[in-house]
Amino acid sequence: MRAYETMFIIDPHLDESVRKETIEKVKEFISQNGGNVKKVDDWGIRELAYEIKKRNEGHYVVIEFETENNQLALKLRDYFRFEPNILRSIVVREDE
């Protein structure tokens, strides 16, 4: 299995329950597409380096996961692109 890590920034103006639901949706998406979530690291609200969608802060979340499905990273990038609660995201494969 290959190890991956994704970091995404959620709109900080959303209600806490919506933020938690967004994180759960990402975890479910990874699991449903052949991934195994290893660790979820919720960094909380932090200042952004530059303004994104008229926001100066964002709620950072890092998820480490494993998968044998090479297409999962691409699917996850597409998922983030169409998720309105997520301001920015990145998916990277960890070095072996």
Under 8 Å between Cβ of 35 and 73: no
pLDDT digits (tens, 9 = 90+) for 12-63: 999 999 999 999 999 999 999 999 999 999 999 999 999 999 999 999 999 9
Q: Which residues contact 19 (CB under 8 A, 6 or more apart)?
A: 10, 59, 85
CATH of the domain at 79: 3.30.70.60
Pair of tokens at residue 62: 């890092």
Output the pTM of the full model.
0.91
Write out the residue range of the structural domain in which residue 27 sits.
2-93
Euclidean distance between the first and the last CA atom of the chain, given in angstroms as a whole number: 10
Q: How many separate domains does the chain show?
A: 1
